[in-house]
Chain A
Amino acid sequence: MFRFEFMQNAFLAGTIIAILCGVIGVFVIARNMSFLTHTLSEIGFAGASFGVFMSWPPLNGMILFTTISSIIVGQLSVKQERRENVISAISALFIGLGILFLSLSNKNASYATNILFGSVIGIGQSDVIQISALSVVVLAVIFVIYRYLKFDSFDPIGAQVRGVNKTLLSIVFLILLAFSVSVAAQIVGSLLIFILLTIPAAVAKYFARTVGGMMTLAVGIALFGVWVGLYLSYLTNLPVSFFIATIEAALYLVALASKRWLKTE
């Protein structure tokens, strides 16, 4: 199947995205941000439609919208209790905007489907380069702030006591998350981004013994889903996001069941 250039591109982009999602996902899970990640996907949809409306590449619109809304969320809701309500309000606003821009832009329905569900055929060489560049930037920032981010994610009170700048750190992380959401949407579509961003890390949490191990395992699980998903999609001609979602969800259920089973034994 690698005879086709679009499959090469899809594999390359998918591999990079899986690595990125596995790494970021560990912090998404530790910081209890699954809900926000879900919402960022919806905001990403609005951004992509805005991009289409402006005749930009959808990815640029997504990055713009998710980054701005991340910063707003970060500013408004440093307090955990308030966060979910703020997020709900913001997400409603953005989904509305997404529908508006899409209808204003006169594009046909298949364009919307691509944004929502992702597309393999659509990924060209320049997309691969852009996806790689963004991923490398996100991973590099994580590399630099890793110790602070780990401390604050796994022991928030300890980090506060130590004087870690939590507000700054959480805004930086939200921006990194916004970039990751936008990048991941290119392959699984904006509806299913949270599948790659949360499930691999959630599964890894149950089986790893260290934070580093959790990250390695999460990357592995994301890679498995993307590779197998792409292969099955190539064989069957069905959407890749369907396969990735099914594989990851199945892994999660198996993990939950085996954890429970191990416990009762």
Chain B
Amino acid sequence: MTDPILQIKDLTAGYADSSTPVIKHLNYTLNRGDFLSIVGENGVGKTTLMKTILRQLKPESGSISYYPDDHAVHIGYVPQFRNIDGEYPLSIRDFVALNLTGFKLPWLSQSERQKVTEMLERTGLKHLANRPMGQASGGEKQKAYLAQALIEEPDLLILDESTASLDPISKNDLLDLVLEINQKFGLTVIFVTHDIALAKKYTQKFLMLTPGKFIQGDSADLSTEEIWGMMEAHV
């Protein structure tokens, strides 16, 4: 039944210029179609773990295996921080299309243009397609980031605190959309968040990072308060 997309084995990872690794001896198997939330306090290593999964950081020891093989897994990542110069003439449509890369003609083909339009429609950005990225609101930007990540049809989508700056309605909108793609197309999702209630509402599984320990569980088995309690017990 289980169909792993990535398997983390005894992973120790961090930054070369600091003495102690951030992540120590983590084991976790993520299955295809999972919607996993990752919770944990500031600085515990959530973003570091995501960067290691993205292969931007090399494991110090242990490994991450991807299935069916290393090159077959496309990962879409919506990073926690982004710097887009607000003065550039880059519309939301332009921004989303940036991720259609390759040694191709500078301009988009008919089918690529259609793909961008469909993605804008899906993410509720169609009426804002020509608005410069610099003028988009925080929530509109997050939707644009999501649309950009989704346009190259990833197998695994990583959202690193993408909902942190959104109002409750936009939070739900964004996650409803991700959930729909997760359910319809089997997109695997990792959702890094501090909002345990939101994690519980949308994800089946959670992985909690604490300074000394990793706790995994099914979101449905525990109440929000119980999950909070577990986190507090390990700080």
A residues near B (Cβ < 8 Å) are 30, 143-148, 150-151, 154-164, 204-206, 208-214
Does the CB pair A205–B88 fall under 8 Å? yes
B90 — which chain A residues lie within 8 A by C-beta? 154-155, 210-211
Give the secondary structure class of A's interface: helix
Does the CB pair B89–A213 fall under 8 Å? yes
A163 to B75, CA, bound (A): 10
For this complex, 22 residue pairs linking A to B, each with C-beta atoms less than 8 Å apart, are A143-B106, A144-B103, A146-B105, A150-B98, A151-B99, A154-B90, A155-B82, A159-B98, A160-B56, A161-B54, A161-B77, A162-B99, A162-B152, A163-B55, A164-B101, A205-B87, A206-B87, A209-B132, A210-B89, A210-B90, A211-B88, A214-B88
B residues near A (Cβ < 8 Å) are 54-56, 77, 79, 81-85, 87-91, 94-95, 98-107, 130, 132, 145, 148, 152
A to B contact number (C-beta, < 8 Å): 76
A112 to B106, CA, bound (A): 40
Give the secondary structure class of B's interface: loop
Does the CB pair A205–B98 fall under 8 Å? no
Does the CB pair B101–A151 fall under 8 Å? yes
Does the CB pair A147–B91 fall under 8 Å? no
Closest to B132 in A: A209
Does the CB pair B79–A161 fall under 8 Å? yes
Most buried by B among A148, A157, A160: A157
A159 — which chain B residues lie within 8 A by C-beta? 98
A155 to B132, CA, bound (A): 13
A30 — which chain B residues lie within 8 A by C-beta? 85, 88
A210 to B93, CA, bound (A): 10
A211 to B126, CA, bound (A): 19
A127 to B148, CA, bound (A): 45
